[in-house]
A and B are shown apart, each in its own frame.
Chain A
């Protein structure tokens, strides 16, 4: 599952509208939506509708369905199994549902949309444009780039452990978790330290440790598209917030 998700993240569609947007605009939109979802309890239904439309337009409807079902399962377990068992009650059952299902779906879908629709190289450039220190940007880029390599290393360590009879399947990991963890983590750590050394040598050879400014293959800047996109998101979030507030107020009064 992780591999397929990483593969999906690695697939690039250069012509896609969201892909071409400046990552900073996407990051601002993501923050706006998640903050609105955190603060505006009344507007969660509208925000969920907006995010659903975004997921469908971006081809991420499966992720929307998956996260909604996950949220519903969690809500069922929490509200209908755990709470009756402990005799606990809530003031507003709808808000519990909205908090667990709608809000969690909004967070996951918008986060995955950002991850799938953002090129890592562009994201690194955008972070540097935001004057984020390179001592944070460089390890971040290295970390993301090394995840597939480490997954391959994990598979190699697993094979080696199977050969020696230390790991015979998920059951052995369940019955002897401490040994499994130790046998996995020790070679992984040693391998990681070696990989870091090799990477340092390769990078120093290419002059990455050189001080001074860097130039980029692709220019990262705000154009009309970015302003239009941010304007749309801001407008939708604001209109949704105002509409739901007035609707609810009218309902209660």
Chain B
């Protein structure tokens, strides 16, 4: 829920954490995408979306756990959108990332789930799902390809991304629980 405490401006500590972890998410997603391309696994439909979703969701989960406030996911998404815009030059993909982040944050705000155990994972699934759907359906609509096969591949990619976000969220939760238990993070 959006409370008075939640709408306070972010401290620099939070912004620095989001910046550094955004860089990590970018490096990890680029590295996993490169591995998938180099090994030829890109031929398996949906695997790319699954792996990239999994690896980045672990990191975004850590941010959501460290900064349990409205806006954290939106800011991460906005930074990612700017990176997408800067590196790939695709305005609608950047918009898709931003809309996904906003929707995930809105979900957590509505369900008051910033400190819950399942809400961040569902928010990650919402974020990834909207991002994949908007990012992949748009090129389809404007006719990059007109084939039936491309439509099925797109559908499998969306499902792969959603599954990746779910598994990544669970992995992130397990990792954070272990780190908290060992006293590395609070």
Which residues of B (84-141) have their CB < 8 Å from a CB of A?
Answer: 85-92, 139
* A209 and B12 within 8 A (CB): yes
B residues near A145, Cβ cutoff 8 Å: 23
* B22 and A139 within 8 A (CB): yes
A145 to B24 CA separation, bound complex (whole angstroms): 11
B residues near A209, Cβ cutoff 8 Å: 11-12
Check: B46 CB closer than 8 A to any chain A CB: no
What sequence of 0s and 1s flags, for each residue 34-60 of chain B, a beta carbon within 8 Å of any chain A beta carbon?
Answer: 110001000000000000000100110
A27 to B143 CA separation, bound complex (whole angstroms): 24
- Asked, given contacts A142-B15, A196-B13, whether A107 binds B90 with beta carbons under 8 Å apart, the answer is yes
Which segment of A55-63, A88-96, A160-168, A225-233 sits at the interface? A88-96
What sequence of 0s and 1s flags, for each residue 106-122 of chain A, a beta carbon within 8 Å of any chain B beta carbon?
Answer: 01101110110010000
- Asked, given contacts A2-B30, A139-B19, A203-B12, whether A108 binds B145 with beta carbons under 8 Å apart, the answer is no
Nearest chain A residue, comparing its CB with the CB of B152 = A86
In the assembled complex, the CB of A67 is this many whole angstroms from the nearest CB of chain B, namely: 11
Nearest chain A residue, comparing its CB with the CB of B27 = A150
Interface of B is mostly: helix
What sequence of 0s and 1s flags, for each residue 97-132 of chain A, a beta carbon within 8 Å of any chain B beta carbon?
Answer: 001100100011011101100100001000100000
A residues near B17, Cβ cutoff 8 Å: 193, 196
Contact partner of A200 among B12, B24, B66, CB < 8 A? Answer: B12
Check: A204 CB closer than 8 A to any chain B CB: yes
Check: A147 CB closer than 8 A to any chain B CB: yes
B residues near A95, Cβ cutoff 8 Å: 143, 146
A33 to B152 CA separation, bound complex (whole angstroms): 29
A residues near B139, Cβ cutoff 8 Å: 38
Check: B179 CB closer than 8 A to any chain A CB: yes
In the assembled complex, the CB of B153 is this many whole angstroms from the nearest CB of chain A, namely: 9
A residues near B185, Cβ cutoff 8 Å: 193
A93 to B76 CA separation, bound complex (whole angstroms): 40
A residues near B35, Cβ cutoff 8 Å: 173
* A90 and B145 within 8 A (CB): yes
Which residues of B (51-82) have their CB < 8 Å from a CB of A?
Answer: 55, 58-59, 62, 66, 71, 75-76, 78-79, 82
A-B contact pairs, 5 of them (CB 8 A): A27-B85, A135-B71, A136-B78, A139-B22, A196-B13
